[in-house]
Structure 1
Amino acid sequence: MTTSLDGKVALVTGATGGIGAEIARTLAAAGAAVTVVGRNAEAGATVVKELNRGLFVAADLTRRETHQSILDATLALFGRLDILVNNAAAHAAGPALEGAEEDFDRIVALNYKAAFFLTQAALPSLIASGAGRIVNISSIGTVKSYAGAAIYNSSKAALDNLTKSWALEHGPDGVRANAVNPGIVVDGPMSAPVQEFLDIEHAVLPTIPARRLATAADVAAVVTFLAGPGADYLNGVIVPLDGGLTA
């Protein structure tokens, strides 16, 4: 694992903390140079300091003009792009009946639309790589929904479908597109509102055979495998990282 991504360049969105930062660190430990994308420059600089070869690009991914600038900065420093991890996401917890239009627009804009157009912009470089990898961070809520996350889960279901579309369209180009569907991530900031909304101890843990929640390290390990040569024949796969919840 320490050398499997030597010479590769990865771009990770939403990587200034939580799951994204752990993914960036784990990809770097496997040998990749990593572009860290996020809004918080101070947090981004902190993450980059932990990487052997890293770059921070501050960007609001809901603004399409930022997508090409992120790629340009990556290519200018590293000369290539091999791995794109669409991790950035927004969430709002609460009953669907109370869902606000502004929350709907905000979540769909980042979770679905931004991932679509950033990937569209990145695909020429991923194809040029000869072994490009797209890894989307989705949610187990697309398979087994749970109360309080209707907008979030439906936006991630759209991302799962995009994963399969990209796998079908660009598999012949050498690009592999897969998604990771984590359950609730105990140390993931995105899961914090869900953990407050749900009774984790009594309503959630008894349904998980592993009897624990996922961790950011669990997610990062699967992403790093999917980004590496050992996953070359995996394409269009949605990995349920749920401790057996959907078994």
Structure 2
Amino acid sequence: MTLEGKTAVVTGATGGIGEAIARALAAAGANVTVVGRRKDLGEAVAASLPRGLFVAADLTGRDSHRVVLESTVDTFGGLDILVNNAAVLVGGPALHATEDDFDRVVGLNYRAAFFLTQAALPLLIAAGDGRIVNVSSIGTVKAFWGGAVYNSSKAALDNLTRTWALEHGPDGVRVNAVNPGMVLDGPMSFGRQASIDVATEVLPQIPARRLATAADVAGAVLFLAGPGSAYLNGVTIALDGGLTA
């Protein structure tokens, strides 16, 4: 699992799942660029890593991609791993979704990941063993009420995972995704956890009889970013405790 000498960019890493991923990669030896909009939190996370860098960025703006990548290369000399984790959830029935809701979710969850990856690919190809890990959602294969815009944005990310793997596997770049179910300590899940009885409505459907944790997601990302998954490309891992088995 060693990532010594590798450099990773993790988006949405100022807290929650993204922070857990950044810490897992750093613990494995990687240099880590923490990307997010919350400056104080991001600087604190980066400062606590052995070799961390914080870049404040709103990834829905194209200039931010250049800033993130240039700052990473200037500090660490290159890029080996890109983790597209930044996302937003606007819940509610599709009937009531507004264009602003749609643009906000698709703009970050899909468009931003697309163009950041596009900008990063030359660096990942140059690395000779580039890895892209997309943090998606089990909602791409098992719909949940109120998730029409979010789930469809993540389904697009799943498709990009497969397409990028096909297009850039010959370049030495591996592209895979982790599709978590509800995450106990994932901030985007807090609203749904508060609105339902998890113990009676959710856990009985999950063979593992518990929710995922941010550490579970980070462990799966670490596996896909590391040498142990060298022959995996274009896969989406259902991190759902058996919910979709």
Deviation at 1:204, TM superposition (A): 1.0
Q: Aligned partners of 2:204 and 2:20: how far apart in 1?
A: 27
Q: Secondary structure at the match of 1:177?
A: strand
Tell me the residue number matched to 2:76.
Answer: 78
User: Among 204, 207, 210, which residue is 1:209 paired with?
Assistant: 207
Superposed counterparts of 1:1-247, under 5 Å? 1=1, 4-247=2-245
Is residue 205–residue 243 contact of structure 2 (8 Å, CA) maintained in 1?
yes
TM-aligned CA deviation for residue 193 of structure 1: 2.2
| Paired residues of 2:102 and 2:149 also in contact (CA < 8 A) | yes
Deviation, 1:163, is: 0.3
String of CA shifts for 1:96-136, please: whole Å, max 9, x gaps: 22212211110000000000000000000000011000000
Query: 1-side partners of 2:110 and 2:63: how far apart?
Result: 16
Instruction: Give the distance between the partners of 1:122 and 1:197, measured in 2 at CA.
Output: 39
> What residue identity is the alignment partner of 1:175?
V
Q: CA distance change for structure 1 residues 66 and 48 in 2, over 3 Å: closer, same or farther?
A: same
Which 5+ residue runs of structure 2 have no aligned equivalent? none
Secondary structure of the 2:202 match is: helix
Aligned residues: 245
Amino acid at match of 1:112: Y
CA-to-aligned-CA distance 1:119-164 (integer Å, 9 cap, x gap): 0000000000110000000000001111111110010000000000
2:164 is paired with a residue whose SS is: helix
Q: Identity over aligned residues, as a percent?
A: 70
- Report how far residue 196 of structure 1 moved: 2.9
> What CA distance in whole angstroms lies between the structure 2 residues aligned with 1:113 and 1:189?
22
- Which amino acid counterpart does residue 204 of structure 1 have in structure 2? V
Residues 47 and 53, structure 2, Cα contact 8 Å, conserved in 1: no
Q: CA deviation at 1:194?
A: 2.4
Once superposed, what is the RMSD of the aligned Cα atoms? 0.8
Deviates more, 1:93-102 or 1:29-38: 93-102
TM-score (norm 1): 0.97
Distance (whole Å) between structure 2 residues aligned to residue 99 and residue 203 of structure 1: 25
**Residues 12 and 36, structure 2, Cα contact 8 Å, conserved in 1:** yes
* Superposed CA offset, 1:175-213 (max 9, x none): 000000000001011112222344322211110000000
Instruction: Tell me, yes or no, if the aligned pair for 1:94 and 1:197 is still in contact at 8 Å.
Output: no
Q: Is the 8 A contact 1:16 1:36 kept in 2?
A: yes
Question: How far, CA to CA, are the matches of 1:232 and 1:88 in structure 2?
Answer: 25
